[in-house]
A and B are shown apart, each in its own frame.
Chain A
Amino acid sequence: MAHNRRTFLGGAAAFTAATLAAPAVIGQAKPRVVVIGGGTGGATCARYIAKDSDGAIDVTLVEPNATYYTCYFSNLYIGGFRTFESLAHSYDKLTGEYGITLAQTTAEGVDRDAKTVTLASGEVLSYDRLVIAPGIDFRDGAVPGWDLAAAEIMPHAYKAGPQTQLLKAQIEAMPEGGLYCMVAPPNPYRCPPGPYERISMVAHVLRERNPTAKILIVDPKEKFSKQALFEEGWQKHYSGMIERIGPDFGGQNVSVRPDTMEVDIDGTVEKVDVCNVIPGQQAGRIAHVAGVTDGDWAPVDPFSMATKADENVYVLGDASAQGGMPKSGFSANSQAKVAAMHIRGALTGSRVFPAKYSNTCWSLIDTEDGIKVGASYEPTEEKIASVSSFISQTGEDAALRKVTYEESLGWYAGITADVFG
C-alpha cells in the first residue's frame, strides 16, 4: 500500500478510536464486574467475561453456596436415574482457571448511583457493570396455607439441593397405596415441562416400589408444555396412576394444610401422604432490592440483556422478563453469553456481534423414553421473540426416544462444562 497522506491520517484515526473505546487500558485499575448469583446464568456470565477478556476484567461472583446442584436433571435423581452427587458442581475451576473472585455470601444491598453492592458481611464491592442472576423466589401467599417454613413438610424441591433429597425420601417412605399430590405453578415459572417430568419420575419410582400408590396433580393451567407427549407416555407407562385436576375442575382454587397433610381443591378436601407444592414465582429478591424489576420480573433490553431500568445492570436467566424464551438453564446460559459479550465490548472495546438466543428442554418420561422441545429466538424492539421451534412427536418409536434421552446426557455434560469450566 502506498504511504500517502490519506492512508496515514486513516491509520491515526483508527488508533485514536481504539484507545477511546478501551479507556481502562492505560494506567488505570482493571474494570470491575460483579455477578450476583452463581447459578447457570451467573456462572456462565462470569466465566465468559473472565475467559474471553484474558484477565483484562476483574470479575467477582457472589454466591452463598459452596456447591451448585443443577435443578435440571434433579428430577432424574428423584427417578433413580442419577445420583445426587452427579448434580453437584464446584466453583473451583472458575476461581482457579479463570481468576474469578468468589465471595461466598449473599448480596444484601445494591446502590446503583454509587455502583456498589453490599454483602451480608458488610463488605462493599464497587462495580463498573453489575449482573444480577438470582433465579427465582416464591411469591408470598401464592398457595394459601403454604409458606417457606412449610417446605420442610411440603417440599417445593424447585431449587435443587436438600429440598430434592427431602422429596425423594418422602416418596420412598410413602405408605402402600398412598397419595402423592403436586400443586403445580401458574405461568410463568422456571422450566415449563419440569413439574410434569417430575410426575413421570415419581410414577417410575412408585411403579417399582409401591404400585398401588396414586398421583394427583392440581393445576391452575389449562395446558402445559409437551402435554400430548406426557399424557401419551403416562397412559403407556403408568396407566391408571396419574390424575390431573385442571382449572375446569377447580385446579386454580387450592389451599394446603401442612399440619394435617390435607389439600383443599375448590372445597373438596383430600388427605395426602406427600405434597409437593410448587408456588407461583417471581425474580430473586435481590433483583427487587436493586430496583430493576417491574412487577414480578426484571424487564431487559432484548439485544443485550441490560435492564431497562439501568444500562449498567444486567439481569439474565429466570429473574428476567425474557420475552418468548422459557425460564430454563439452557436459556440462562444462552442469555449470559450475550450479556457477557456486551459487557466486554463496553469495558474493553471487544467486538460485539448480533445477539442470538436458543433453548432446548429434554424431559424423561420413563427408562430410555426421552422427549425434547426447543426453539430459536431473535431480539426485536418489542422483546426476544421465538422464530422457529421443534418438538418430539407422539407415536415415535423406542429407538428415537432412546437417542433423544442419550442426547440429553451429552447436553448435560456439555452445558455443565460450559458453565463451570
Chain B
Amino acid sequence: MRHAGFTVTIALLAGLAGPAMAQLAGDADRGEGFWNQCKGCHMIGPEARNRIGPPLNGIFGRRAGAVEGFKYSKSMERMGADGLTWTFETLDAYIDNPKALVSGTRMAYRGLKDPQDRADLIAFMREFSDKPRDIPEAEPSIITTQPQLADEVLALQGDPDFGEYLASECGTCHQGDGSDQGIPSIVAWPEEDFVVAMHAYKQKLRPHPVMQMMAGRLTDEEIAALAAYYATLEPQ
C-alpha cells in the first residue's frame, strides 16, 4: 500500500536527517605558524621534494601514499589502495592523531590537538593545492558536520517566504513556469512528495550528483520551506 510504504521511507530517512553546518574555516596566515612543526620533515611550495616526509603540494584530493619515489609505510600504502583520499576531514583526523587513522604510519608526530589550530594549518596547506576558483571540481575547502535529529521530518511546517528565497537557487535550472526541457518541472508537487524526494537525494539514495549536492546542504526546515513554496506555484 502506498501509504504504508511512504511512512516507512520517512522513518528511515528521518533517522539520518540533520542540518548541515559549515564550520571551522581556517586562517591560512595563522596556519603558517603551525607549519613550523611539519617542516622538519615535509616541504611544500616551489622546489618541494621528498625528504623525511613526502612533499605536500597538491595534497587535497590526492590518494594516500601516492607520491612517486617516496617510501611509504605498508600501512599507508594499504590505506591508499583501500581508497583513503586526503580531504579536509581525513587530514583533520590524521593531524589530530596520525596513528588513529593510519596505524603503522612512519610519521612521528604526536598530533595537533586544538580543532581551530588544525583548521588553520589545513587552510595553509590548502593554498598549495588546486584552487576551487580555477578548478571548480577541486577538493572542497571546509568541513561540514551533520549532527542527527530526532524530529519528525514530515511534521515540519514549511515557511513559504523562506522557501521563495531558497527557490532562487533552484530557479536557474527548474523553471518557475513549469516547463520541462531537459530538467524536470517541480512546481505544484504535493508537499509530501517534494520532501521525500529531496531527502532521498540528501541521503544519496536517489542518484544525480547535482541534486545530491543541492539537497545535501539543506536542513529539514529548508526542505520543508521549499516544498511549501513550490506547492503554491501553478504550471503554465
List the interface of chain A (C-beta within 8 A of B): 48, 187-188, 192, 221, 223-226, 322-327, 330, 333-334, 337, 341, 351, 353, 356, 358-361, 372-376, 378, 380-383, 385-391, 403, 406-411, 413-415, 417-418
Residue with the highest number of chain B CB atoms closer than 10 Å, among A334, A353, A387 = A387
Do the beta carbons of B183 and A388 come within 8 Å of each other? Answer: no
Do the beta carbons of A324 and B171 come within 8 Å of each other? Answer: no
Do the beta carbons of A414 and B140 come within 8 Å of each other? Answer: no
Partner of A356, one of B136, B169, B171, B175: B169
Closest to A375 in B: B136
Chain A residue contacts of B133, Cβ below 8 A:
187-188, 322-327
Do the beta carbons of A375 and B25 come within 8 Å of each other? Answer: no
Is the C-beta of B172 less than 8 angstroms from some C-beta in chain A? Answer: yes
State whether A415 and B137 are in contact (beta carbons under 8 Å apart), knowing that A326-B132, A378-B142, A406-B182 are contacts in the complex. no
Partner of B162, one of A353, A359, A414: A353
Is the C-beta of B70 less than 8 angstroms from some C-beta in chain A? Answer: no
Do the beta carbons of A414 and B173 come within 8 Å of each other? Answer: yes
Q: A188-B131, A324-B141, A410-B173 are in contact. List 5 more A-B contacts (CB 8 A).
A: A327-B133, A382-B123, A389-B140, A390-B209, A391-B137
Chain A residue contacts of B139, Cβ below 8 A:
389
State whether A390 and B213 are in contact (beta carbons under 8 Å apart), knowing that A326-B134, A351-B161 are contacts in the complex. yes
Q: In whole Å, how far is A188's beta carbon from the nearest beta carbon of chain B?
A: 6
Do the beta carbons of A411 and B142 come within 8 Å of each other? Answer: no
User: 11 A-B contacts, Cβ less than 8 Å apart?
Assistant: A323-B133, A324-B131, A353-B166, A359-B136, A375-B213, A376-B213, A386-B140, A387-B140, A387-B144, A387-B217, A389-B213
Partner of B138, one of A381, A389, A409: A389
Is the C-beta of B109 less than 8 angstroms from some C-beta in chain A? Answer: no
State whether A375 and B134 are in contact (beta carbons under 8 Å apart), knowing that A414-B183, A418-B171 are contacts in the complex. no
State whether A388 and B140 are in contact (beta carbons under 8 Å apart), knowing that A409-B181, A414-B183 are contacts in the complex. yes
Is the C-beta of B168 less than 8 angstroms from some C-beta in chain A? Answer: yes
- Interfacial residues of chain B within 57-87, with CB under 8 A of chain A in the complex: none
Chain B residue contacts of A380, Cβ below 8 A:
22, 25, 142
Do the beta carbons of A411 and B140 come within 8 Å of each other? Answer: no
In the complex, per-residue mask of B159-170: 1 if CB is within 8 Å of any chain A CB, else 0:
001100110110
Q: Bound state CA distance, A327 and B131, in angstroms?
A: 12
Is the C-beta of B192 less than 8 angstroms from some C-beta in chain A? Answer: no
| Chain B contact residue count (CB 8 A cutoff) | 44
Do the beta carbons of A358 and B214 come within 8 Å of each other? Answer: yes
State whether A390 and B210 are in contact (beta carbons under 8 Å apart), knowing that A408-B182, A411-B182 are contacts in the complex. yes
Partner of B174, one of A192, A330, A387, A414: A414
Chain B residue contacts of A408, Cβ below 8 A:
182
Q: In whole Å, how far is B208's beta carbon from the nearest beta carbon of chain A?
A: 9
Q: In whole Å, how far is B31's beta carbon from the nearest beta carbon of chain A?
A: 11
Chain B residue contacts of A192, Cβ below 8 A:
134-136
Chain B residue contacts of A333, Cβ below 8 A:
172
State whether A413 and B175 are in contact (beta carbons under 8 Å apart), knowing that A356-B166, A376-B214 are contacts in the complex. yes
Q: In whole Å, how far is A20's beta carbon from the nearest beta carbon of chain B?
A: 21
Closest to A333 in B: B172
Q: Bound state CA distance, A63 and B122, in angstroms?
A: 43
Q: Bound state CA distance, A337 and B169, in angstroms?
A: 8
Q: Bound state CA distance, A54 and B174, in angstroms?
A: 23
Closest to A393 in B: B209
Q: In whole Å, how far is A53's beta carbon from the nearest beta carbon of chain B?
A: 13
Q: In whole Å, how far is A414's beta carbon from the nearest beta carbon of chain B?
A: 5
In the complex, per-residue mask of B180-216: 1 if CB is within 8 Å of any chain A CB, else 0:
0111000000000000000000000000011011101
Q: Bound state CA distance, A409 and B174, in angstroms?
A: 12
Chain A residue contacts of B212, Cβ below 8 A:
390
Q: Bound state CA distance, A330 and B182, in angstroms?
A: 17
Do the beta carbons of B169 and A374 come within 8 Å of each other? Answer: no
Do the beta carbons of B217 and A373 come within 8 Å of each other? Answer: no
Do the beta carbons of B172 and A389 come within 8 Å of each other? Answer: no
Q: In whole Å, how far is A239's beta carbon from the nearest beta carbon of chain B?
A: 25
Q: Bound state CA distance, A409 and B165, in angstroms?
A: 24
Closest to B58 in A: A223
Chain B residue contacts of A387, Cβ below 8 A:
22, 140-142, 144, 217
Closest to A403 in B: B182
Residue with the highest number of chain A CB atoms closer than 10 Å, among B138, B176, B177 = B138
- Interfacial residues of chain B within 14-47, with CB under 8 A of chain A in the complex: 22, 25-28
Is the C-beta of B130 less than 8 angstroms from some C-beta in chain A? Answer: yes
Chain A residue contacts of B141, Cβ below 8 A:
324, 385-387
Q: Bound state CA distance, A410 and B183, in angstroms?
A: 6
State whether A188 and B138 are in contact (beta carbons under 8 Å apart), knowing that A334-B169, A374-B210 are contacts in the complex. no
Is the C-beta of B179 less than 8 angstroms from some C-beta in chain A? Answer: yes
Do the beta carbons of B136 and A410 come within 8 Å of each other? Answer: no
Q: Bound state CA distance, A224 and B135, in angstroms?
A: 6
Q: Bound state CA distance, A403 and B183, in angstroms?
A: 9
Chain B residue contacts of A406, Cβ below 8 A:
181-182
Q: Bound state CA distance, A390 and B183, in angstroms?
A: 18
Chain B residue contacts of A188, Cβ below 8 A:
131, 133-134
Q: Bound state CA distance, A178 and B214, in angstroms?
A: 45
Closest to A48 in B: B168
Q: In whole Å, how far is A389's beta carbon from the nearest beta carbon of chain B?
A: 5
Q: In whole Å, how far is A337's beta carbon from the nearest beta carbon of chain B?
A: 5
Closest to B142 in A: A385
Chain A residue contacts of B174, Cβ below 8 A:
414
Do the beta carbons of A374 and B182 come within 8 Å of each other? Answer: no
Chain A residue contacts of B136, Cβ below 8 A:
192, 225, 326, 359, 361, 373-375, 386, 389, 391
Chain B residue contacts of A373, Cβ below 8 A:
136-137
Do the beta carbons of B22 and A341 come within 8 Å of each other? Answer: no
